[in-house]
Amino acid sequence: MSYEKLSVVLPAKNEAESIGELLVAIIQLLPGAQVLLVDDGSTDDTAAIASSMGATVLSHPYSKGNGAAIKTGARAATGEVLVFMDADGQHDPADIPQLLEMIERGHDMVVGARSASSQASVGRLAANKVYNRLASWMVGHKVKDLTSGFRAVRADKFREFLALLPNGFSYPTTSTMAFFRAGYSVSYVPIVAGKRKGSGHISLLKDGLKFLLIIFKIGSLYSPLKIFFPAAAGFFVIGLSYYFYTYSSMGRFTNMSALLFIAAIIVFLIGLVSEQITALLFMQGKDK
């Protein structure tokens, strides 16, 4: 791949400690590539250092969030392929050619999947496994690393989902699930993520709950029955169990059983209608 067709987007907030070394490595490895640093309201010398290193700097007047920085970079990028990576030193630029190789093979998104030897806490590794399994069930495909911010994408396809991307740290979650549900090809390349330089910006508890909400949000948007059918089945099973209990103990069918059965039917029908609306939206998108 010609590096002139490549844009590297680096969202950054107060990364003066790591950005200089990272940019040197990227520029040496990818001569001719566009390097965009999106300064998300930094209060240190991040923007000045990046500018002096030859990167194109786009600055937010105040901190809008990691996802907002990604969207700013994606809109300004001129390359046909975009590479997103953290500016805190966790991601090794030497892994970029592996991502680009998979793009050249025909994939639309290639994610750097962090191995168990990556520098992450036990709690975060455990949380990532839960997210990966839940997302795999939602989209019907194996999701190896839902939250990795190191990825290469085809620019035109990524921009289709900019309106869906949140402004916070869960843009990898949203983009991965959106690509899968849209039928685009997603692949993974194993990487080892290093320890970040400086203090972290992610709260495991606060942002972890946001990731779960995003998973359900995108799941309900692209595959509603995956959400509504289990809920409907749960109401039906509880209603049936309660009916057996009341019939065996009191010999009658109670109002509570009737309410549970009705709830099961209503939830299932909502999911069915949502599925049809989703199908219509996709058909309209293809006609444009």
Domain residue extents for the chain: 3-212, 225-287
CATH of 3-212, one of 2.40.128.20, 3.40.605.10, 3.40.50.1220, 3.90.550.10: 3.90.550.10
Q: For residue 199, what pLDDT is reported?
A: 54
Cβ atoms 183, 107 nearer than 8 A:
no
Global pTM value: 0.77
Tokens in use for 228?
A: 């509504």
Distances (CA, A) of 170 to 185, 215, 257, 262, 276: 20, 9, 40, 36, 27
Nearest to 202, CA basis, from 241, 169, 237, 155: 169
**pLDDT of 77:** 97
Q: Is 275 in contact with 224 (CB distance < 8 Å)?
A: yes
Please name the residues in contact with 277: beta carbons below 8 A apart, sequence gap of 6 or more.
none
Type of residue at 19: I
Contact 12, 37 (CB under 8 A): yes
The one-character DSSP state at 15 is: -
Contact 158, 73 (CB under 8 A): no
Do 210 and 101 form a contact (C-beta atoms < 8 A)? no
Rounded CA separation 166/56 (Å)? 24
Query: Cα–Cα distances in Å, from 228 out to 176, 214, 276?
Result: 21, 16, 13
Tens digit of pLDDT at every position of the chain (288 positions): 678 899 999 999 999 999 999 999 999 999 999 999 999 999 999 999 999 999 999 999 999 999 999 999 999 999 999 999 999 888 999 999 999 999 999 999 999 998 876 655 556 667 778 778 887 887 788 889 988 999 999 999 999 888 878 887 778 888 888 888 788 999 999 998 877 665 555 555 555 676 667 667 766 766 788 889 999 999 999 999 999 999 898 888 889 999 999 999 999 999 889 888 876 765 554 444
**283: number of Cβ within 10 Å:** 9
pLDDT, position 216: 72
Q: What is the pLDDT of residue 102?
A: 96
The per-type count for the chain, helices as H runs and strands as E runs, is: 10, 7
Per-residue model confidence (pLDDT) at position 285: 45
What is the DSSP annotation of 28-68? HHSTT-EEEEEEES-SSSHHHHHHHTT-EEEEESS---HHH
Q: For position 120, what pLDDT does the model report?
A: 59
